[in-house]
């Protein structure tokens, strides 16, 4: 018996348009016209305000080679990935300028990175420790490659990254290692996802860039030829880019936006182009509906009332600002609604997720509505390959 389709099992894209009637909730629907508008907006705004700054979008938001190629066609110089599996999927699709903004630690990872270089991909990798650089240097020798690296700088998020105070000493040690070549520095400050999120995005972007310019100057003074100064997330990119000396920005979420970005004023809710659709499966009380999505299909990492913005619930229900997705179990979304609201069992609703990056990560497939209204099923090719 086979109840699982070949497409589901082998995770391949649909080649012909699919019947809208075949869609079953919960599913992510991507509005391609809106998505292209978001791509266009970031690309052209950046060109207008800071023509010297290049765009290297982070593809961890969508994990789809099709969309990465649209970002490149619109003017991006390359892409950013969070991990090797994403880079491998993108390289297999023909994308050949990739920055992995994460320390690559471990023999097998470095072997895989070397394989990408050997295949002709321009791969830039992240370093934030001497040990990490030494591992790269050893792998370079074993696999006969040279790694282009960027040093990650700590600018306030307290995760990976070397501090301003330590960076020059570290860079000088790294510069003595063979097989690696420092060409830049990068940071992720994360205005919205920061430990203490800020709503003053202009100030956050400027602060981030100012630190980086200072670090680059110190490194150059020490004899390290820093070419690339790479900064910025979706909320801060356009602000961070306006500081002289910055060469590149790496926003990711802007391709779809999400409720968190809208809450921070980065976009309007109407700009959000990837929606989760769900079905009302129960209305056990006049003020409560239950929808067929929970923490296994709608990301729970950005929880309600976790920061000063007090996002109400786990997502915004399109067309009903009063509805609050108060709680989620794995497959249940508990939504408080106005008792007089006319929700019926079987009705479908669409939700703007709090965080689209982690929501897409829960789905094998997304559904794409193109400008002609035709629907396609796309395999989220880089999803689930966790390492």
Stretch that binds a second copy, among 37-45, 48-56, 72-80, 123-131 (CB under 8 A): 123-131
Which of 42, 151, 238, 299 is the binder for a second copy (CB under 8 A)? Answer: 299
Please identify, using beta-carbon distances, which residue of 46 and 192 lies nearer to a second copy: 192
Q: CA-to-CA distance for 293 and 201, rounded, in angstroms?
A: 32
Residue 58 has what DSSP assignment? B
Q: CA-to-CA distance for 313 and 291, rounded, in angstroms?
A: 14
Q: CA-to-CA distance for 291 and 268, rounded, in angstroms?
A: 25
Please, what is the minimum distance in Å from the beta carbon of residue 15 to a second copy? 17
Q: Which of residues 221-280 bind a second copy (CB under 8 A)?
A: 279-280
Please, what is the minimum distance in Å from the beta carbon of residue 151 to a second copy? 12
Matching residue, tokens 């520095």: 185
Q: Contact between 295 and a second copy (CB under 8 A)?
A: yes
Q: Contact between 161 and a second copy (CB under 8 A)?
A: yes
Q: Contact between 51 and a second copy (CB under 8 A)?
A: no
C-alpha neighbours within 13 Å on the C-beta side of residue 255: 28
Please, what is the minimum distance in Å from the beta carbon of residue 331 to a second copy? 5
With beta carbons less than 8 A apart as the criterion, state whether 80 and 250 touch. yes
Q: Contact between 129 and a second copy (CB under 8 A)?
A: yes
Q: Contact between 310 and a second copy (CB under 8 A)?
A: no
Q: Contact between 173 and a second copy (CB under 8 A)?
A: no
Please, what is the minimum distance in Å from the beta carbon of residue 82 to a second copy? 5
Which of 15, 48, 51, 158 is the binder for a second copy (CB under 8 A)? Answer: 158
Per-residue binding letters, 93-112, with a second copy (x by CB under 8 A): ---------xx-xx-xx--x
Q: How many helices (H) and strands (E) does the chain have?
A: 11, 17
Please, what is the minimum distance in Å from the beta carbon of residue 108 to a second copy? 5
Q: CA-to-CA distance for 119 and 277, rounded, in angstroms?
A: 40
Residue 82 has what DSSP assignment? S
Which of 34, 36, 56, 60 is the binder for a second copy (CB under 8 A)? Answer: 60
Q: Contact between 287 and a second copy (CB under 8 A)?
A: no
With beta carbons less than 8 A apart as the criterion, state whether 140 and 147 touch. yes
Stretch that binds a second copy, among 5-13, 141-149, 205-213, 235-243 (CB under 8 A): 5-13
Size of the site for a second copy (CB under 8 A): 83
Stretch that binds a second copy, among 140-148, 216-224, 255-263, 325-333 (CB under 8 A): 325-333
With beta carbons less than 8 A apart as the criterion, state whether 62 and 360 touch. yes
Please identify, using beta-carbon distances, which residue of 83 and 206 lies nearer to a second copy: 83
Q: CA-to-CA distance for 64 and 43, rounded, in angstroms?
A: 19
Please, what is the minimum distance in Å from the beta carbon of residue 48 to a second copy? 30
Q: CA-to-CA distance for 377 and 334, rounded, in angstroms?
A: 28
Within 157-300, residue ranges assigned H as helices are 164-175, 201-221, 237-240, 259-263
Please identify, using beta-carbon distances, which residue of 243 and 253 lies nearer to a second copy: 253
Please, what is the minimum distance in Å from the beta carbon of residue 346 to a second copy? 5
Q: Contact between 206 and a second copy (CB under 8 A)?
A: no
Which of 11, 41, 181, 206 is the binder for a second copy (CB under 8 A)? Answer: 11
Please, what is the minimum distance in Å from the beta carbon of residue 309 to a second copy? 17
Q: CA-to-CA distance for 332 and 98, rounded, in angstroms?
A: 38
With beta carbons less than 8 A apart as the criterion, state whether 93 and 75 touch. no
Please, what is the minimum distance in Å from the beta carbon of residue 238 to a second copy? 22
| Per-residue 3-state assignment (H helix, E strand, C coil) for 110-169 | HHHHHHHHHCCCEEEEEECCHHHHHHHHHHHHHHCCCEEEEEEECCCCCCCCECHHHHHH
User: Cis (ω within 30 of 0) for the bond into 369?
Assistant: no
């Amino acid at each position: 018996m086979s109840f699982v389709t070949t497409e589901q099992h082998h995770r391949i894209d649909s080649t012909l348009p699919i019947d809208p009637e075949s869609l079953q909730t919960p599913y992510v629907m991507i509005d391609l016209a809106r998505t292209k508008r978001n791509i266009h907006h970031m690309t052209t705004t950046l060109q207008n305000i800071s023509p010297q700054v290049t765009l290297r979008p982070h593809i961890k938001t969508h994990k789809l080679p099709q969309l990465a190629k649209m970002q490149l066609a619109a003017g991006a110089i390359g892409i950013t990935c969070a991990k090797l599996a994403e880079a491998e999927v993108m390289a297999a699709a023909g994308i050949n300028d990739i920055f992995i903004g994460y320390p690559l630690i471990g023999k097998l990872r470095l072997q895989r990175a070397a394989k990408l270089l050997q295949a002709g991909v321009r791969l830039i990798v992240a370093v934030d420790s001497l040990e990490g650089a030494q591992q790269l240097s050893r792998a370079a020798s074993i696999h006969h490659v040279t790694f282009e690296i960027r040093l990650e700088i700590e600018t306030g998020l307290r995760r990976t990254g070397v501090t301003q105070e330590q960076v020059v000493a570290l860079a000088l040690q790294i510069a003595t290692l063979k097989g690696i070549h420092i060409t830049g520095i990068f940071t992720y400050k994360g205005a919205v996802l920061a430990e203490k999120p800020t709503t003053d995005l202009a100030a956050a972007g400027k602060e981030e860039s100012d630190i980086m310019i200072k670090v680059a100057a110190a490194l150059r003074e020490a004899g390290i030829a820093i070419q690339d100064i790479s900064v910025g997330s979706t909320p801060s990119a356009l602000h961070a880019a306006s500081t002289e000396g910055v060469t590149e920005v790496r926003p990711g979420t802007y391709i779809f936006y999400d409720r968190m970005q809208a809450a921070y004023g980065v976009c309007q809710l109407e700009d959000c182009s990837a929606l989760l659709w769900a079905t009302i499966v129960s209305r056990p009380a006049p003020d409560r509906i239950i929808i067929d999505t929970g923490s296994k299909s709608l990301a729970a990492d950005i929880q309600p009332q976790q920061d000063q913005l007090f996002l109400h619930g786990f997502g915004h229900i399109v067309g009903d600002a009063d509805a609050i997705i108060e709680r989620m179990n794995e497959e249940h979304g508990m939504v408080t609604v106005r008792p007089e609201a006319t929700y019926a069992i079987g009705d479908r609703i669409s939700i703007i997720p709090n965080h689209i990056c982690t929501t897409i990560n829960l789905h094998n497939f997304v559904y794409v509505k193109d400008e002609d209204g035709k629907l396609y099923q796309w395999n989220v090719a880089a999803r689930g390959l966790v390492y």
